[in-house]
Amino acid sequence: MLVDGERIAACLALAVQYAERDITTIEGVGQPGSPHPLQEAFVREDGFQCGFCTSGQICSALGMLAEHRTGMPSVVTPHLADDDIALTDAEIKERMSGNLCRCGAYDGIVGAIRSVADHEVAR
């Protein structure tokens, strides 16, 4: 889930520690009838099979894209001191590694995130 826009692992969070903070779960992303562009991309790019992991994947990806926009490096970033870090497939995979998908929809997940990230860059 997102706390003030930052992704965290809800399973290890004590709710009381996040009182008064701005919490976003998948229920706050998009609306029935008008899904978020990333939700549309998950449908279009085959980003899920059973759907169990999907809410976490989408919230995590939103947090990940925001991190990337602030210049956060990852462990596969070639030069950590660089200002502009290209969001390659290798970067997306590394940055999304905290979200496991038992169905193995990884290629579709990366594709969905890639298409939204490319669209953001193009804008």
- Nearest 5°: phi and psi at 86? -70, 135
Which window, 26-34, 36-44, 49-57, 114-122, contacts ligand FES (CB under 6 A)? 49-57
Chosen residue from 28, 51, 71, 104 binding another protein by CB under 8 A: 71
| 43 touches ligand FES by CB under 6 A | no
The entry of ligand FES, another protein, none that residue 14 binds, CB within 5 to 8 Å by partner kind: another protein
> Per-residue DSSP letters for 46-102?
T--SS-TTHHHHHHHHHHHHHHHHTT---TT-S-TT-S-----HHHHHHHTTTS--T
| 64 touches another protein by CB under 8 A | yes
Write down the least CB distance from residue 96 to ligand FES, Å: 12
| 12 touches another protein by CB under 8 A | yes
Nearest to 45 by CA among 119, 95, 102: 119
Chosen residue from 39, 57, 60, 115 binding another protein by CB under 8 A: 60
Q: How many CB atoms lie within 10 A of CB 80?
A: 9
